[in-house]
Chains A and B, each alone.
Chain A
């Protein structure tokens, strides 16, 4: 078993590995996978209602009805907590305006489904010429199971069916009435929240029942609702039995939808959604265009997808790989030949580009910068907080945080922000972030290479937690080898999968998963599987 060593530092969210709480009966129990002991018996996060995020809502409607259904441009606003929308979804509320938006969306979806023959025939098995109670009941029963991710009780089904029939009578039209039944399903808290409470009669002690597990698995791996096959697995009780659960997870991991789900995960973790509203001063950055932000996201997600699914390569290599995928927009920014005239093509970044790994992508370099300049602090904070799970306290208030303007003796950012590294009020935090950020000063606020700033040579060298680097290229390697990189991904995935805040996750459990990840050569698919089997994910532990 590997263990990682890291100097004790008050700001590190991930402490050193604690001794494993070994279970004496571990030998006789089926091992999760790999040759290691059982998970530590620790507290697990308490159940929380999780509101569907807007991307999940959209994906569900596309999956259940059709990708052609038109949805409002905005639904309820998603909020990040601890960097993740999934944690936000477990904590935030639905506003009054959100209720309005969900109502509007529900009727519009229902109307489109019932007026589009191809969609209607998937769920409604009658002509609709007469008011057909059995037909309404069957349609709402089947749809209810998909949308609520479990069978409706008789009373629940009666409520929505009665609404549909009342409306059909009132409006003298079967389909017009059924719209109200479908809209009722879509407005219900059983649709809008993932109701996984572990309080059902079939739930194993302290755990989630099969229907809840189907929901948890599909939102974790697919960022969407369970499909028919997964609901069948739930009905057959395959998701509460460890052996059959593993088989289901493996089937899900092989499903193309997991590629989209993992894309959603990394998009959330790396803030790639914010690239839609990338703001840059076009007078400063002549390569800026409306396409740049979305192109930068596609690049990053393409690299991640290829790396995880096609190569099954170790996670840290994402920070040193020279392979990337660029279109003409990015090729121009990176000053490399476009591999293809249309769309994206694979490219091996030349060494002389000085650029490699995810931290060479515009998705990081442009997003973590100001509108007209770079930001040493933002880039440093991103690496620390997102990749190394290090909490950076807010700067003290009532302190002048200004940095000196460009002057003859302070042409480069390194010289100008020297005050942050010397003033004791600032240095405590800025020493954690700025050496990282300064390494990227060779990339301007959009991510284009530059050797000089205001005519002076940029010195990108620095040291990350004891390891020297000469430039961003080398820093990629230092990040890849950083002992906290992979435990941090482990922690982030556990949070993403459960919606729990960091405090709710037991450190011993994070460490146990992180060690398994290490033993598995840091293959992300392995980690996804391990998290899906985690006691924290399945609710198998004491709730504190």
Chain B
């Protein structure tokens, strides 16, 4: 058995670089970067977790899942925050949240939450605040992003500890720690092959029994031996890098071992059909909505089949200059240079919320137990700033969809009048999936306790 092939293969001779390149300015002043030893890896969790995942199951049967749904360049806060607070009919969706109307009964909108980090890096500080709760280091992200923190808690029992996808050409913003990104898959075909290709076994099908799986694991054992031996020869920073590599190899080995087990009986799991169509730019414009749709379908089925319980999906990323339909310039450019009430920026935000509605709808369309997949998870939709024009990181945009098995209130607008630390939300999210965490974050972003006002 060979690993699944991607549809797109290139001759070795063709030099081709998949990376669009991250922010690449020499943004570090001389002398600043030096010294700070870069530690990679996750902070020790405060509790050990149940190895079989039962602790996180909804009603002891279905697992709870976590999804991060991220877009770049924020919102227009004046048109985002609903007027009223409370439950059900007590509140109505705001202008910018209107595209989510069909799903209002499963939404929880927290507003008034602030990033408490010093806002020293436009788009960078907010990203660090909303996803890590840890101040930036010289080269960028200073700690693991929330998807990885949660994967550490609930990702251990599935084929994939976590998955990362994108609906535009970006590497995404899922990080294990400084300089350690989990690159997002941008190609729907490659993502399909990874999730549902040769190595996928649908419920009712026989598990793969193939001696080649064992041979592949033997090769990985040898690789791990090489990494360990190398570890003793290198300095502390390289050791941390090799540890991360070793983690990846170990995960792959575990994954191969699981392929020999019968797949779990999951009522809604079925092998989805392969994506069809051309997802490349159309007239210079990225097909963000189409790409979000196809990726979301696959993510939803990956959840339903328990291929993973943690997904981080980046529709766009900070400073994204994607050219949206109807826009006269790139998104980021418009957030700064469009005048007046920024009608184009508003329109793009609406387009993004339509994408979010698509994703929520797909998750809510999969029946599970007495409800749907969406009920058994929480989708955390957010961005790195609120008003991008000023790089504001107060009153951060957040949409929560799904109750995480009854943990979160539904059909509710929660407004923090005191500008609560958004890190508290990161604590609530961990608690929602069953992790016993009471404090989180570092420096000015550190917080203790979740937001009890969000809890059902």
Interface residues of A in 91-108 (CB under 8 A from B): 91-100, 103-104, 107-108
- Inter-chain contacts of A133 with B (CB < 8 A): none
Nearest to A381 among chain B residues (CB) is: B25
Query: What is the CA–CA distance of A195 and B238 in the complex, to the nearest angstrom?
Result: 11
Interface residues of B in 240-283 (CB under 8 A from A): 241-242, 244-245, 247-249, 251-252, 281, 283
Does A97 contact B24, Cβ atoms closer than 8 Å?
no
- Inter-chain contacts of A189 with B (CB < 8 A): 223, 226-227, 230, 242, 245
Interface residues of B in 1-53 (CB under 8 A from A): 2-6, 8-22, 24-31, 33-34, 38, 40
Q: Does A371 contact B (CB under 8 A)?
A: yes
Does B16 contact A397, Cβ atoms closer than 8 Å?
no
Number of interface residues of A (CB under 8 A): 104
Does B233 contact A199, Cβ atoms closer than 8 Å?
yes
Does B161 contact A108, Cβ atoms closer than 8 Å?
no
Does A370 contact B181, Cβ atoms closer than 8 Å?
no
One of B100-108, B182-190, B420-428 at the interface: B182-190
- Inter-chain contacts of A74 with B (CB < 8 A): 6, 18, 187, 190
Number of interface residues of B (CB under 8 A): 102
Residue in B6, B121, B124, B249 whose beta carbon sits within 8 Å of that of A72 in the complex: B6
Q: Does B448 contact A (CB under 8 A)?
A: no
Smallest Cβ distance from B3 to chain A, in angstroms? Answer: 4
- Inter-chain contacts of B252 with A (CB < 8 A): 96, 99-100, 103
- Inter-chain contacts of B30 with A (CB < 8 A): 13, 391, 502-503
- Inter-chain contacts of A183 with B (CB < 8 A): 219
Of the candidates A93, A104, A273, the one having the most CB atoms from chain B within 10 angstroms of its own CB is A93
Does B321 contact A279, Cβ atoms closer than 8 Å?
yes
Smallest Cβ distance from B137 to chain A, in angstroms? Answer: 12
Q: Tally of A-B residue pairs with Cβ under 8 A? A: 314
- Inter-chain contacts of B218 with A (CB < 8 A): 163, 166-167, 180
Smallest Cβ distance from A15 to chain B, in angstroms? Answer: 9
Interface of A (DSSP majority class): loop
- Inter-chain contacts of A68 with B (CB < 8 A): 11-13
One of B325-333, B349-357, B436-444 at the interface: B325-333
Q: Does B194 contact A (CB under 8 A)?
A: yes
One of B62-70, B358-366, B384-392, B395-403 at the interface: B384-392
Residue in B27, B40, B248 whose beta carbon sits within 8 Å of that of A393 in the complex: B27
Query: What is the CA–CA distance of A501 and B6 in the complex, to the nearest angstrom?
Result: 35
Q: Does A188 contact B (CB under 8 A)?
A: yes
Does B12 contact A277, Cβ atoms closer than 8 Å?
no
Does A371 contact B185, Cβ atoms closer than 8 Å?
no
One of A76-84, A203-211, A352-360 at the interface: A76-84
Residue in B120, B212, B284, B389 whose beta carbon sits within 8 Å of that of A402 in the complex: B389
- Inter-chain contacts of A73 with B (CB < 8 A): 6, 8-10, 16, 18, 187, 190
Residue in B8, B13, B26, B33 whose beta carbon sits within 8 Å of that of A385 in the complex: B26
Smallest Cβ distance from B338 to chain A, in angstroms? Answer: 8
One of A59-67, A120-128, A242-250 at the interface: A59-67
Q: Does B336 contact A (CB under 8 A)?
A: yes
Smallest Cβ distance from B227 to chain A, in angstroms? Answer: 5
A103-B3, A103-B216 as given contacts; A394 in contact with B180, CB under 8 Å: no
- Inter-chain contacts of B248 with A (CB < 8 A): 94-100
Query: What is the CA–CA distance of A61 and B11 in the complex, to the nearest angstrom?
Result: 10
Q: Does B145 contact A (CB under 8 A)?
A: no
Residue in B19, B22, B120, B230 whose beta carbon sits within 8 Å of that of A397 in the complex: B120
Nearest to B121 among chain A residues (CB) is: A394
Smallest Cβ distance from A55 to chain B, in angstroms? Answer: 5
Smallest Cβ distance from B423 to chain A, in angstroms? Answer: 18
- Inter-chain contacts of A61 with B (CB < 8 A): 12
Does A99 contact B234, Cβ atoms closer than 8 Å?
no
- Inter-chain contacts of B121 with A (CB < 8 A): 394, 397
Does A93 contact B241, Cβ atoms closer than 8 Å?
yes
Query: What is the CA–CA distance of A277 and B21 in the complex, to the nearest angstrom?
Result: 10
Does A62 contact B13, Cβ atoms closer than 8 Å?
yes
Smallest Cβ distance from B360 to chain A, in angstroms? Answer: 26
Q: Does A171 contact B (CB under 8 A)?
A: yes
Residue in A82, A381, A404 whose beta carbon sits within 8 Å of that of B28 in the complex: A82
Query: What is the CA–CA distance of A502 and B31 in the complex, to the nearest angstrom?
Result: 9
Q: Does A138 contact B (CB under 8 A)?
A: no
- Inter-chain contacts of A159 with B (CB < 8 A): 222, 225
Does B390 contact A399, Cβ atoms closer than 8 Å?
yes
Residue in B16, B20, B247, B285 whose beta carbon sits within 8 Å of that of A58 in the complex: B16
A49-B241, A391-B26, A393-B29 as given contacts; A402 in contact with B336, CB under 8 Å: yes
Interface residues of A in 274-293 (CB under 8 A from B): 274, 276-277, 279-283, 288
Q: Mind listing 26 A-B residue pairs with CB under 8 Å? A: A49-B230, A62-B11, A72-B5, A72-B10, A73-B16, A77-B18, A77-B181, A79-B181, A93-B176, A93-B179, A97-B164, A97-B185, A99-B245, A103-B216, A104-B3, A190-B230, A274-B20, A372-B328, A372-B330, A394-B121, A397-B125, A400-B389, A400-B390, A402-B389, A405-B337, A405-B338
Q: A187-B220, A199-B233, A279-B284 are in contact. List 5 more A-B contacts (CB 8 A).
A: A53-B17, A73-B9, A99-B245, A190-B230, A274-B20
B residues in contact (CB < 8 Å) with A: 2-6, 8-22, 24-31, 33-34, 38, 40, 119-122, 124-125, 139, 161, 164, 169, 171, 176, 179-183, 185, 187, 190, 194, 211-212, 214-216, 218-220, 222-223, 225-227, 230, 233-235, 237-238, 241-242, 244-245, 247-249, 251-252, 281, 283-286, 321-323, 328-330, 333, 336-339, 389-393
A residues in contact (CB < 8 Å) with B: 13, 46-49, 53-55, 58-59, 61-62, 65-83, 85, 91-100, 103-104, 107-108, 111, 156, 159-160, 163, 166-167, 170-171, 180, 183-184, 187-190, 193, 195, 197, 199, 264, 271, 273-274, 276-277, 279-283, 288, 370-373, 381, 385, 389, 391-405, 501-504
8 interchain residue pairs of minimum CB distance: A67-B13, A99-B248, A73-B8, A104-B3, A273-B17, A96-B248, A77-B183, A397-B119
